[in-house]
Amino acid sequence: MPSPPHPERSPAERHRLTGRRIGLAVFGGGFTCATAWWTLQILTTVWGSAPPSPAGCVGGTASLIKAVARARDSYEQKAGEEDERTALARYRGALEPEWSDRKGIEAACKGDAAGEKHLKDVIALRYAEEHAVRYESLGLAPLRRRIQGTSGSPNDLNR
């Protein structure tokens, strides 16, 4: 059975429906373009590559080691005085700007087996130090404060 015919719409109604369709198309197109652009940026950041670092493998890796030492020293200056988030933020902030070039250093070390192994060890050191900061700020520092509060002397812990 054929469907009943639609009643004729007025020109104002047709313009309103056309405007609605155009608005939905513009909104949908903008939303789709923005989502595609952001997805591309995320994928490029995660799995993309970078040009080799001008410092090379050895120089780049040495700068990463210095940044880890600087970050550790930065944390140790206020160890036990901060909560976990603040301590981690300070540690991670002190790693910059060297660690922002990690992909470039990885590209510079590509093909050099010893350099790649050394870089992996430096990366492992960075995350081990970060784990230590987290452990220190969550467990060890509050315990030290409690013990210092009962013993009365902060030097008792250094013996």
Q: What percent of the chain has pLDDT over 90?
A: 53
Q: Is the pLDDT of residue 159 over 50?
A: no
With H, G, I as helix, E, B as strand and everything else as coil, classify residue 153. Answer: coil
Q: Quick one: average pLDDT of 28-36?
A: 96
| DSSP at 152 | S
Rounded to the nearest angstrom, the gap between the alpha carbon of residue 148 and the centroid of all alpha carbons in its chain is 36
Give domain limits for the chain: 22-47, 52-150
Q: What pLDDT score does 45 carry?
A: 79
Buried b / exposed e over 76-110, threshold 16 CB at 10 Å, is: eeeeeebeeeebbebbbebbeebbebbebbbbbbe
Note if the pTM is more than 0.85.
no
- Alpha-carbon gap, residue 10 to 156, rounded angstroms: 90
Each residue of 95-135: pLDDT tens digit? 999 999 999 999 999 999 999 999 999 999 999 999 988 88
Query: HEC profile for 9-53?
Result: CCHHHHHHHHHHHHHHHHHHHHHHHHHHHHHHHHHHHHHCCCCCC
CA nearest 84: which of 143, 133, 142?
133
